[in-house]
Amino acid sequence: MDWLTEFPALSYDALREINKAVDTTFRDFSREYGSSIEQFFDPLLQFLVWLEQLLITTPWPIIIGLVALVSWFASRNYKIVLGATISLLLIGIFGMWENTMSTLSIITVCTLLSILLGLPIGILMAHSNRAQSFITPILDVMQTMPSFVYLIPVVMLLGIGKVPGVIAVVIYAIPPMIRLTNLGIRHVDKAVLEAAEAFGSTYWQKLRQVQLPLALPSIFAGINQTIMMSLSMVVIASMIGVKGLGQPVLKAITNQYFAMGLFNGLAIVALAIIFDRVSQSYGKRLQGQHNA
Amino acid sequence: MSNITDTPPKLVVEGLYKIFGKHPQQALQWVKEGMNKQELLDQKHHVLGLQDINLSIQPRSIEVIMGLSGSGKSTLIRHFNRLLEPTAGKILLDGEDILTFNQRQLREMRLHKIAMVFQKFALMPHLTIAENVQYGLKLRGSSLKEADLQERCTYWLERVGLKGMEQHYPRQLSGGMQQRVGLARALATDADILLMDEAFSALDPLIRTDMQDMLLSLQQELNKTIIFITHDLDEALRIGDSIAILRDGALIQQGNAQDILLNPVDAYVRRFVADVNRTRVLKVKTIMQGMNALPTDIDDSRPMTVKGSRSVEYLLNKTILQNPSAIWVVNNKGERIGYIDRAILANTIGRDEEADQDWEGLWAASA
Ligand SMILES: Nc1ncnc2c1ncn2[C@@H]1O[C@H](COP(=O)(O)OP(=O)(O)OP(=O)(O)O)[C@@H](O)[C@H]1O
Ligand SMILES: [Mg+2]
């Protein structure tokens, strides 16, 4: 009756064989294709480097001015503009300007990528129930799998650096974008869609003129969550060589520099709050346009 | 009867079946072998939406489709612009079978020939009133200039009584106003067929009457072919040139208001018409005596005239006020076309089951 008290697991040797088989297969794969995959991502790397340099070399008053301007047009709320400006000033005073700009560039790229990929996937999901039942479990896995686990194959393939960092962040941050696009489109009033069809809309006209505009508030909620999740990945991404606010935090953990960790952590929080308030109030304004 | 005329029908439906479910063709066989709606649902889990509908709709008239909830009214009207595909049957629009249309032809038909007004208005909430009214026109692409669009939009908004509302959003309007926009959107396309699925059912009674009046006065000048769904008999009698009654997906009677009131084909229809105020619905000319069968003892000292298209109720009011010695029915040109016998008029008010028989006789004589 051993097998009741002790789980009849595979033998140690068998397990080791399985692990080894998976590892070598993947290693062979990355040896074979690693460099071509790297080449594929080269334009992305170029763009990342360019954006980061741009943000760092632009004089800080211009950046702060731009952030204030964008906040104003998105939210029309002077409190949010004021909060954003003061946070950025404090970040600069405490010597975290450059790291913040690096993080900003990475977040921007990750968000853009998530939108670029997530929007069409979300549309596809809304269009077909079969696509939805196929993609939903994948999104579940992406969101619940500890991020360290999928860092491993990414690093094995692409080594350490910005691009694997971005990929890891996008995998983690894209699900809400996809889900909320899908949801937003599916929740569009059936009667309105029927009207569009009855008056002679084609499939694309319906999508572009009715479904997407009406799903916009939901899509914006998705973008907002994507940004928040990217920011929360910053520290983990810094473990594989992504520059920015995550690196000093990591250093602070290993060397037990409490103050350093705290300041950089607060800078991440400040960025998060700015992004959140600005994108959310923009989304709300969009929503206010349609619904009383 | 009155709907048999020489003009070719605008829309003809032949042997139309619609069955919802996984295997509609199979279910169709069962239905043709005699299974009814309830059995099909209980035993085979298919919904019989429409069965063997044969209907012919005259151009430039208002065809009302009536029936209880679930009788298939919406299902039927959605076949006319192919929002639904039938399981079997034919639909001829101006003699062309629309079921043979490809995507391009179908779109062409929806853009130019058939417009629709919806129960819950179904306006685009993110577009202004002007953009909503222009919606159908803009879908046509480049064929219309901006100025032209504006002009048509302004014209139709004014016609439905919403002048100056161009820049508002639908949510800023009351239900009645929103439905006016819905109507303007449909009319702006110049389609000659208008499908209206319970278009006024969501409105308050007073506003509803206003809308009916507006539709009728627009129709006088536009002469569209309107297919109007309602479950309200008063509405049906008020606006319908012809009324079709559905039950469980089958068409059980089609005729004008007088037909339906005087000759209900079965208990279902009789129940529908039970509470109707007949004097309001029946037209004077249906109770008149023809000029060839006049009584000999007419006292023409204090004559009164009334148009044949007026309601009996109107006639009663006028009679009580003027107390004439003779009542003449005239046509629109004022020529005498018939005579009203007081005894028959009295019967109209105090009618009983026996009077029904007289009525039928009268109706047959005047038709
Ligand atoms: N997509 C569908 N799938 C399955 N059954 C349907 C579908 N659409 C309609 N039905 C069924 O077909 C029948 C007719 O429905 P329909 O909506 O045409 O009725 P209606 O006369 O318009 O009723 P109401 O007055 O409630 O609008 C009903 O039994 C309904 O349940
Ligand atoms: Mg209906």
- Indicate which CATH number applies to the domain containing A280: 1.10.3720.10
Distance, CA of A220 to CA of A228 (rounded, Å): 12
Contacting residues for B189 by C-beta, under 8 A, at least 6 apart: A199, B111, B112, B115, B136, B137
The answer as to whether A2 is a domain residue is no
Q: Are strands B336-340 and B289-290 parallel, antiparallel or unpaired?
A: antiparallel
Distance, CA of B273 to CA of B233 (rounded, Å): 7
Distance, CA of B69 to CA of B52 (rounded, Å): 19
Assess whether A80 and A34 both reside in one domain: no
Assess whether B243 and B289 both reside in one domain: no
Q: Do A94 and A245 meet the contact criterion of CB atoms below 8 Å apart?
A: no
Region for residue B11 given its phi and psi (left: phi exceeds 0; alpha: psi -120 to 50; beta: otherwise): beta
Q: Which pLDDT score is estimated for A147?
A: 80
Q: Which pLDDT score is estimated for B349?
A: 62
Assess whether A154 and A199 both reside in one domain: yes
The answer as to whether B354 is a domain residue is no
Both tokens of A108, joined, read 């921007």
**pLDDT value at A120 more than 90:** yes
Assess whether B247 and B285 both reside in one domain: no
Q: Average pLDDT for residues B174-183, to the nearest whole number?
A: 95
Assess whether B187 and B289 both reside in one domain: no
The boundaries of the domain holding residue A27 are 8-40
Q: Would you call A208 an interface residue with chain B, using a CB distance cutoff of 8 Å?
A: no
The answer as to whether B363 is a domain residue is no
Q: Are strands B11-20 and B303-307 parallel, antiparallel or unpaired?
A: unpaired
Assess whether B24 and B153 both reside in one domain: yes
**pLDDT value at A127 more than 50:** yes
Assess whether A223 and A268 both reside in one domain: yes
Assess whether A132 and A249 both reside in one domain: yes
pLDDT confidence band for B3 (50 / 70 / 90): very low
Q: Which pLDDT score is estimated for A7?
A: 87
pTM score, whole prediction: 0.83
Assess whether B170 and B305 both reside in one domain: no
- Indicate which CATH number applies to the domain containing B344: 3.90.1280.20
The answer as to whether A261 is a domain residue is yes
* B49 to B32, B75, B90, B99, B318: CA distances (angstroms): 14, 7, 16, 18, 47
The answer as to whether A284 is a domain residue is yes
Which tens digits make up the pLDDT trace of A145-201?
A: 888 887 888 888 888 888 989 998 999 999 999 999 999 999 999 999 999 999 999
Assess whether A28 and A55 both reside in one domain: no
Helix (H, G, I), strand (E, B) or coil at B221: helix
The one-character DSSP state at B145 is -
B126 and A213 in contact by Cβ < 8 A?
yes
Instruction: Name the residue facing A198 among B116, B124, B125 (closest C-beta).
Output: B116
**pLDDT value at B51 more than 50:** yes
The answer as to whether B365 is a domain residue is no
Q: Average pLDDT for residues B186-206, to the nearest whole number?
A: 94
The answer as to whether B269 is a domain residue is no
Contacting residues for B118 by C-beta, under 8 A, at least 6 apart: A191, A194, A195, B182, B197, B199
Total structural domains within chain A: 2
**A72 vs A239, higher pLDDT:** A72
Assess whether A12 and A149 both reside in one domain: no
- Indicate which CATH number applies to the domain containing B169: 3.40.50.300
Q: Of the residues B37, B39, B73, B197, which should be mutated to test ligand 1's pocket, given the most ligand atoms within 8 Å of the CB?
A: B73
Which tens digits make up the pLDDT trace of A227-279?
A: 999 998 888 888 888 889 999 998 998 999 999 999 999 999 999 999 989 98
Total structural domains within chain B: 2
Torsion, Cα B208 B213 B215 B218, to 10 degrees, reads -160
Distance, CA of B180 to CA of B173 (rounded, Å): 10
Contacting residues for B164 by C-beta, under 8 A, at least 6 apart: B157
Which residue's alpha carbon is at the smallest distance from atom 6 of ligand 1?
Answer: B20
**pLDDT value at B2 more than 70:** no
The answer as to whether B127 is a domain residue is yes
Distance, CA of B131 to CA of B145 (rounded, Å): 14
DSSP A118-130: HHHHHHHHHH-HH
Assess whether B112 and B246 both reside in one domain: yes
The answer as to whether A15 is a domain residue is yes
Assess whether A36 and A166 both reside in one domain: no
Assess whether A20 and A109 both reside in one domain: no
> In angstroms, what separates the C-alpha of B10 from chain A's closest C-alpha?
19
Assess whether A109 and A25 both reside in one domain: no
Q: Which pLDDT score is estimated for A289?
A: 65
Which tens digits make up the pLDDT trace of B299-325?
A: 888 999 999 888 888 998 999 899 898
Instruction: Name the residue facing B126 among A201, A289, A292 (closest C-beta).
Output: A289
The boundaries of the domain holding residue B337 are 280-349
The answer as to whether B367 is a domain residue is no
**A29 vs A120, higher pLDDT:** A120
Assess whether A112 and A255 both reside in one domain: yes
